[in-house]
Amino acid sequence: MKKMKKVRKVDNPLLNLSIEIENLLVARNPRGMQTLQQALLPGYYLRAAQLLLRARGTVLIGTGFPVAGTYETDGPVGAIALYSALETLGAEPVLICGAPLADAIASDFRVHKISVGEPAVSKLEAAKTLQHYQPSLVISIERPGMAADGQYYNMRGENISPACASFDYFLSTASCPTIAIGDGGNEIGMGNIASTIEQLDIIPSATRCDELLIADVSNWAAHGLIAMLSALRQRDMLLGWDNLATLQYLSARGSVDGVTRENSLTEDGLSSDISEKLIEDLRKLGGFCQ
């Protein structure tokens, strides 16, 4: 397949906004996402937002990365943000996750619980769930992605397969469009840019998707996607988002920071005020605040 050339800014305001969002979300570059960005055709946030805008009925959102016997804050925060945005659009989002996250949030959201540490049943489980919900879109945000050897690994290269609920087949066998979000290379969707990920010191995911979104923190990609959606709808859908309250909600239910492994109000070692500043910057890019 002929490799597409990277596009510079053109006379297309929405594409230009997408490129600005894409650059903002990898500006810190703690895990080499600027390297991965070079392998993606610019406009990926715009294309993904258009998929959200067209979604009807059920949308499945997979999240929950196992850390220290529980789940990390990066992923669920963004999943909840997307859940809220999709409800605003009139869709019916369902969060797909394994224990303990599924049990922790089931009383407050539509949740479908999947098996943990049972790879032999994961493909059939995905097939039955997809048949049941008939989703118009499947989204993965900060979900461990299956490596080429069929195992799951964290950013330290540790095999975490026994603690993982497999979400890969929800994307690889879905008959609807799929979006995947990651920030390191070991998440679902990174198989799209496998040759580029070889430059990073990580055991990468081999699972592919239709539209891959990257960011320095996966939660930030959700906010970037909602910012792009705001521009398409000409409505500030990030207005009123309370990042700290969401972190507090998850912390009270056992979350930990994925980097420090501590129960704290942080995302990948970064305080909530950093995310709040980024959200404000996204709103400014969209022209919704000064």
pLDDT, one tens digit for every residue, the chain (290 residues): 334 344 455 689 999 999 999 999 999 999 999 999 999 999 999 999 999 999 999 999 999 999 999 999 999 999 999 999 999 999 999 999 999 999 999 999 999 999 999 988 999 999 999 999 999 999 999 999 999 999 999 999 999 999 999 999 999 999 999 999 999 999 999 999 999 999 999 999 999 999 999 999 999 999 999 999 999 999 999 999 999 999 999 999 999 999 999 999 999 999 999 999 999 999 999 999 87
Nearest to 231 by CA among 46, 54, 80: 46
Q: Can you give the pLDDT at residue 91?
A: 98
Q: Can you give the pLDDT at residue 225?
A: 98
Could you give the angle at the alpha carbon of 66 between the alpha carbons of 36 and 49, nearest 5°?
A: 45
The C-alpha atoms of residue 66 and residue 191 are separated, in whole angstroms, by: 20
Structure tokens at 26: 């990898």
Burial degree of 168 (CB within 10 A; 0-12, 13-18, 19+): buried
pTM: 0.95
Domain boundaries defined on the chain: 14-285
Q: The dihedral of CA 164, 57, 174, 177: what is its sign?
A: negative
> Could you tell me which CATH class the domain 14-285 is placed in?
alpha beta
Nearest to 82 by CA among 73, 94, 71: 94
Q: Can you give the pLDDT at residue 9?
A: 58
- Please, are residues 168 and 145 in contact by the beta-carbon 8 Å criterion? yes
Q: Can you give the pLDDT at residue 290?
A: 76
Helices (H) and strands (E) in the chain, counts: 11, 10
Q: Can you give the pLDDT at residue 120?
A: 86
The C-alpha atoms of residue 139 and residue 133 are separated, in whole angstroms, by: 14
The C-alpha atoms of residue 106 and residue 174 are separated, in whole angstroms, by: 24
User: Could you tell me the CA-to-CA distances from 160 to 64, 70, 79, 156, 217 in Å, in that order?
Assistant: 13, 12, 22, 10, 20
Residues ≥6 apart with Cβ < 8 Å to 195: 39
Sheet holding 92-97, edge to edge: 111-113, 92-97, 58-63, 137-141, 178-182, 211-214
Q: Can you give the pLDDT at residue 6?
A: 44
Structure tokens at 130: 């997809």
Beta bridge partners of 111: 95
Residues ≥6 apart with Cβ < 8 Å to 81: 219, 222, 223, 226, 241, 246
- Please, are residues 262 and 207 in contact by the beta-carbon 8 Å criterion? no
Rg from Cα positions in the chain? 17
The DSSP element (H or E) to which 4 belongs, if any, is none
Q: Can you give the pLDDT at residue 13?
A: 96
Phi, psi torsion values for 83, nearest 5 degrees: -55, -50
Burial degree of 38 (CB within 10 A; 0-12, 13-18, 19+): exposed
